[in-house]
Structure 1
Amino acid sequence: MPDGAIATTMLSSADRRAGEVLRLRREIGRMQRRRSDETVLPVDAALQAILPKGGLHTGAVYSVSPSPSLVFALMSAVSRRGSWCAAVGMPTLGLEAAATFGIDLSRLILVPSPGERWLAVISALAEVVPLIAMSPGTAVRDQEATRLAARLRDRGCTLLSTAQWPQSEGMISLHDPHWEGIGEGWGMLSDRTVTVTAQTRSAPRPQSLQVRLPGSLGRIEPVSVEPVPVEPVPSAPVRVIERGAPPLPTHPSWAVA
């Protein structure tokens, strides 16, 4: 067998992923963006009432329910204004559903399977993408979270993590789904009502809203106008990540939808 064939055969999956990261970095160099001076990224009008200043803090990490609908709902406003978004480690995301939420597919970067190099991929994408959704697939170590947090703050990039994050700015969860359209044993599912709850460091008391997700047109639609305060559930011991920072208890419900 020729030496070249032997070398090709010996390439491991890790080598191929390293090559993908290098290609991604070259493309990012071509797309290089300037750091934004804005402090808040917009979200859909239906969700603004439950988030401080009506949006997501730039340079922060939010733990979110592993729901494609919730991820798309949080991305939609940023994409509609012409900014780039990215999804990492989410191979089952549907592009048709993303387009229904108003996400510009020409400005959506997908890295379905980064493997163990997810940290390098997120760090590279932070150079050009203001909003990234990520599912690391494994528990995030404190050291990894600290390194990435510094990168995100430096570039003004916001991260939505479907895994519990050691130093998150807050939690946004989707729960209590209720489908409509089924009659007495028959009918067609028309839309779904869910509750979205947000709890952040600057607003530690949870706030909830009911929305249709998806609504009749496939995107998010408000049901209740005013947020409803939710009493925090006494739960497991809370780790205080930073001195003086308010603790964030773990939300009891992380529905997949």
Structure 2
Amino acid sequence: MSAPAAPSLATSRLVGVASGLRAAPSDPARVLPVRDELADLFPWGGLRRGTTIAVRGSTALLLALLAEATANGSWAAVVGVPDLGVLAAAETGVVTDRLALIPDPGAQPSSVIAALLDGLDLVAVAPGRLADAHARRLSARARHRGAVLLPLGPWPGVDLELRCDRSTWTGLGLGHGHLRQREVVVHTRGRGSAARPGRATLLLPGPTGTVRPAPFEPPTELRPRLRDRAG
């Protein structure tokens, strides 16, 4: 079933209630919190209202970004990701009572996304059929409304891009066992205050399902010397 047209969605109970509960919607400089393990990826220490932050290569990273904000009262939506389930979001720490999933935004996705930006704090989007002109207008809408727009893929004129480049699962033995954790390397680049590139190595998910910092391992060439000192 297709999503309703933008006027109906804009007056729906979900968007109306979220708009009424959102704290300080007129303060676009406010920063929404992220988990401590992710804070160093952002020059603002979190998700700054009015920005467009692209997440590439990991839906798990997107959910990790939503977790702390929803736990602190923010409302979020994920648009155009039909294989994303509530259970996966909950395991990552997202408060699902404050999460709306719109698997198919219908024939006018930009209108649906614009309506969500008017009422919610964070809106994640699979770019899909959106033209660059529509994408830029949605970024302007987020900036005007003080929302955070989170495209899951390439997006023109983003303020910050987070990209997962490497992924290594651990936990399986010799053909048996369970995947317990995944180590990823996240690179950042952006513009303005976010122009300086950044990098972090994380467990996403960690052993408990949420994000954790990866344990430090010295470069291969240093390990013999460190073992000699320990002996």
Scaled by the length of structure 1, the TM-score of the pair is: 0.74
Deviation string, structure 1 residues 12-50 (Cα, Å, up to 9, x no partner) = x8xx54x35343211224543351424322211111112
User: Of 182, 192, 197, which residue of structure 2 is paired with 1:206?
Assistant: 197
Q: How far apart are residue 212 of structure 1 and its match? A: 0.8
Task: Give the corresponding residue for 1:118.
Answer: 109
Task: Give the corresponding residue for 1:236.
Answer: none
Task: Give the corresponding residue for 1:75.
Answer: 66
Partners of 2:90 and 2:37 lie apart in 1 by 18
Structure 1 pair 66/115, CA: closer, same or farther in 2 (3 Å)?
Answer: farther
Task: Give the corresponding residue for 1:25.
Answer: 10
Amino acid at match of 1:45: D
Other structure's SS at 1:52 match: coil
Deviation string, structure 1 residues 204-227 (Cα, Å, up to 9, x no partner) = 2321111111111111111258xx
Partners of 2:38 and 2:124 lie apart in 1 by 17
Alignment of 1:196 onto 2:186: yes
Aligned residues: 209
- Fraction of identical pairs, as percent: 37
Task: Give the corresponding residue for 2:153.
Answer: 163
Other structure's SS at 1:122 match: helix
Partners of 2:200 and 2:67 lie apart in 1 by 18
Deviation string, structure 1 residues 173-206 (Cα, Å, up to 9, x no partner) = 1121111112344332211111111112123232
Amino acid at match of 2:167: P
Q: How far apart are residue 140 of structure 1 and its match? A: 3.1
Task: Give the corresponding residue for 1:48.
Answer: 39
Partners of 1:41 and 1:204 lie apart in 2 by 20
Contact 2:167 2:184 in 1 (8 A): yes
Other structure's SS at 1:50 match: coil
Structure 1 pair 179/31, CA: closer, same or farther in 2 (3 Å)?
Answer: closer
Amino acid at match of 2:11: R
Task: Give the corresponding residue for 1:146.
Answer: 136
Structure 2 runs not aligned, ≥5 long: 217-231
Structure 1 pair 115/42, CA: closer, same or farther in 2 (3 Å)?
Answer: same
Runs of 4 or more consecutive aligned structure 1 residues displaced over 4 Å after TM superposition? none
Structure 1 pair 26/203, CA: closer, same or farther in 2 (3 Å)?
Answer: closer
Other structure's SS at 2:66 match: helix
Amino acid at match of 2:162: I
Scaled by the length of structure 2, the TM-score of the pair is: 0.82
Deviation string, structure 1 residues 108-130 (Cα, Å, up to 9, x no partner) = 11111013311111111112211
Structure 1 runs not aligned, ≥5 long: 1-12, 226-257
